[in-house]
Homo-oligomer: A and B are copies of this chain.
């Protein structure tokens, strides 16, 4: 991703928190002239040596599953908020722009076998059900329901590069007050989230 230095987030811990908080990402693969993308949860996990992976699964019927057999490098996109920034809020004349947060993770994809895939599904459900009033668990589900694992392909991505762009008007410090005020004044969650990130001082 093209990232001018002043938009780079060099805080590894914060970037990992972002990936976990925005885990519903986009898996992009390319094979034989075709780029395919699938919107799925991509879970940041660690092996016993502390090595990082992204874990996920897609439907076997998804054409992208064929890419898994021959693709060398995959791209995972994690989208944060975005907001249009009107230059009418600036003190000096300038063209308008867009603020946003996005993280790109490159890596090598390895297909998981059925037992590994099932184990990853257990962890996935436990993670997201932690916030449920009446959490379900795969541990309590019937073999009939769990048979669905046969319809999916699980995978693990060995991370080779993480790129984090936090485009938050870093080059216009003196306009921050007004930009934040105007963003907060909008009826739009993206604008509010960008204002919050700007206040945090990214």
Residues in B with CB closer than 8 Å to A129 are: 86, 88, 96
Looking at the assembled complex, report how far the CB atom of A50 sits from the nearest CB atom of chain B, in whole angstroms: 27
- The 8 A CB mask of A23-46 against B (1 = contact, 0 = none) is 010101110011111111100000
Q: Complex formed: what's the CA distance from A90 to B36 in Å?
A: 31
A102 at the interface (CB under 8 A from B): yes
A86 adjacent to B33 (CB under 8 Å): no
Grouping DSSP codes into helix (H, G, I), strand (E, B) and loop, the A interface class, with mixed when no group exceeds half, is mixed
Please name the residue on chain B nearest to A34 by beta carbon.
Answer: B73
With A39-B82, A102-B39 known to touch, is A95 a contact of B58 (CB < 8 Å)? no
Contact of A37 among B63, B104, B141 (CB under 8 A): B104
Give the size range of A's interface with the partner: 35 or more
Residues in B with CB closer than 8 Å to A51 are: none
Residues in B with CB closer than 8 Å to A95 are: 121, 125, 138, 141, 145-146, 148
Q: Complex formed: what's the CA distance from A84 to B138 in Å?
A: 16
Query: Copies of this chain, how many?
Result: 2
A75 adjacent to B37 (CB under 8 Å): yes
A98 adjacent to B26 (CB under 8 Å): no
Interface positions of A from 136 to 172, Cβ below 8 Å from B: 136, 138, 141-142, 145-146, 148, 165
Residues in B with CB closer than 8 Å to A34 are: 73
Please name the residue on chain B nearest to A81 by beta carbon.
Answer: B189
| A-B pairs with lowest CB-CB distance, top 10 | A189-B189, A2-B62, A30-B30, A88-B134, A86-B132, A35-B75, A24-B82, A88-B136, A39-B102, A88-B132
